[in-house]
Amino acid sequence: MKTAYLIYCANTPGFPHFPEASLALAGELKKIPVPSAIIDLRLMKAGPQKIIDPLFFGFTVYSNESIKYAIDFARKARKQFPGVPLIWGGPHVQMVPEQTAAHELVDIACYGEGEATIRALAETLLSGKKSYAAIPGIVYKDGTTLRTTPAGYFQELDSLGFYPYELLDLNLYKGTIYTHFYYQTSRGCIHRCRFCNYNYQYRWRGKSGQKVLEELTEILRRFHPHEVYVSDGNFFADKKRVSDILARLKAARFPRLRWSAFCRFDDLCALSDASLQLMKETGCYRLNLGGESGSNKILQYLHKGITAEQIAQGVERCNKIGITVDVSFFAGTPPETPEDLEKTLTLLLKIYEMHPDNLVNGLYYYQPYPNTPLMEEITRKYTIPIPRGLSEWGTKPITSPYRDYLPWLSDADYSKIFSLTQIVNFLYLRKRLRLHRRQTRINIKFNVLYFLSNLLMPFVTLRLKNKFFRLPVEWKLYYLIKKKLLHMDL
State pLDDT tens for residues 109-166.
Answer: 998 888 889 999 999 999 987 789 999 999 999 888 999 999 877 888 999 999 999 9
Residue 437's CB is within 10 A of a number of other CB atoms, namely 13
Q: Could you write out the DSSP letters of every residue in 406-447?
A: -TTS-HHHHHHHHHHHHHHHHHHHHHHHHHHHHHS---HHHH
480 vs 245: which has the higher pLDDT: 245
State pLDDT tens for residues 233-274.
Answer: 889 999 999 999 999 999 999 988 999 999 999 999 999 999
Three-state SS at 56:
strand
Quote the CA–CA distance of 228 and 367 in Å, as a whole number: 28
CA atoms within 13 A on the CB side of 418: 23
State pLDDT tens for residues 34-51.
Answer: 999 999 987 875 455 578
> Who's near 309: CB < 8 A, 6+ residues apart?
none
Quote the CA–CA distance of 234 and 242 in Å, as a whole number: 11
Quote the CA–CA distance of 135 and 93 in Å, as a whole number: 17
Full-prediction pTM beyond 0.75? yes
Q: How confident is the model at residue 396 (pLDDT cuts 50, 70, 90)?
A: low
Beta bridge mates, 287: 261, 325
Is residue 324 a contact partner of residue 359, using CB atoms and an 8 Å limit? yes
Q: Is the dihedral of CA 34, 206, 151, 7 positive or negative?
A: negative
DSSP class of residue 283?
Answer: T
Q: Which parts of 302-337 fold into alpha helices (H)? A: 308-321
- Domains in the chain (CATH in brackets) are 3-148 (3.40.50.2300), 174-486 (3.80.30.20)
Nearest to 291 by CA among 334, 347, 337, 341: 347
Residue 273's CB is within 10 A of a number of other CB atoms, namely 10
238 vs 459: which has the higher pLDDT: 238
Quote the CA–CA distance of 82 and 76 in Å, as a whole number: 10
At residue 462, φ and ψ (nearest 5 deg) are -65, -45
CA atoms within 13 A on the CB side of 19: 34
